[in-house]
Amino acid sequence: MTDGENKTYTIYIVSDSTGETAATMIRAALVQYSTKEINIIRCKNVRTEAQAEAVIEECFERRGMLAYTVASSQLRNKIREIASGKGIPYFDLLGPLLNTLDTFFGEHSEAHVGALRAVDERYFKRIEAIEYTVKHDDGKTFAELDKADIVLVGISRTSKTPLSIFLSHKGWKVANVPMVLDTPLPEELFKIDQRRIVGLIIDMDSLQRIRKSRLEKFGQDPGGEYASMAHIAKEIEYAEKIFKQNRRWPVFNVTERALEENASEIVRIIAARLGLPDSVIF
């Protein structure tokens, strides 16, 4: 039996965000080692030295290799120091790129400490917003609904998910709650700050066209109830009834409008209601 045969190798991926980019890079390289049994462990949202130390210790105990993508130069240096001290094979996937950019631009990013910290804060805020928004898409959960910056409410195919994801990439934590015909909205919705809730509406012709197109895309019958004008009319009537009962919610018509335009208008509305500065509007 040759050395390494039947051995399982472990690679730890450490990231201050999702680690998806690092995982993609590692898997691309591992194509060259298809005969090896390799276990990849992705450690997400590692942003403190204590978190990094815990992961590196586990990597050491399992005799693994370490790859990391971390924006903070201080944390990168700490990871390198600890891994080197323990004799762990490691590779910084982001640091060399930043060093090359420093050379290319003729300046050191560390020279702008305040700016770097501000960039890091915006970066982490955006990551947290995206994670929150994905978790709270289409009524998946109503836990921590009070932590949402914006809550979108509307019937199916009123752009709730696309708007939520777009806004999350701008740093807004967004939850979206579907309206289902003759089904009461969740109680949690009425316990949060009502100024953060925005209703979405669309005209019947546009909605029918969107729903039929979606059904056809997935090879389903576009002539069913979901895309029928009679059913759509009932859904819109039901939504308008709820909106009238909750007049504190501004209702936004998304018909034939670009996603970016709708998102910008929603932010403007929320900012005005909450007294936020104009700088938040994009």
Extract the tokens encoding 35: 């005969």
**By the 8 A CB rule, do 51 and 38 touch?**
no
Task: Report the alpha-carbon distance of residue 182 to residue 28 in Å, rounded.
Answer: 49
E-assigned strands of the chain? 8-15, 37-43, 65-69, 90-92, 150-154, 174-178, 197-201, 251-253
Q: Is 264 annotated as a binding residue?
A: no
Residue 278: CB partners within 8 Å, gap ≥ 6? 271
Q: Is 154 annotated as a binding residue?
A: yes
Q: Is 82 annotated as a binding residue?
A: no
Largest Cα–Cα distance in the chain? 76
b/e code 102-111 from CB counts within 10 Å (16+ = b): eeeeeeebee
Task: Report the alpha-carbon distance of residue 57 to residue 14 in Å, rounded.
Answer: 13
Q: Is 158 annotated as a binding residue?
A: yes
Q: Is 155 annotated as a binding residue?
A: yes
Q: Is 10 annotated as a binding residue?
A: no
Query: 3-state class of 97 per DSSP?
Result: helix
Task: Report the alpha-carbon distance of residue 89 to residue 80 in Å, rounded.
Answer: 10
Q: Is 183 annotated as a binding residue?
A: no
Torsion sign across C-alpha atoms 101, 103, 105, 109: positive
Q: Is 211 annotated as a binding residue?
A: no
Query: 3-state class of 84 per DSSP?
Result: helix
Annotated binding site: 154-161
Annotated binding site for ADP: 154-161
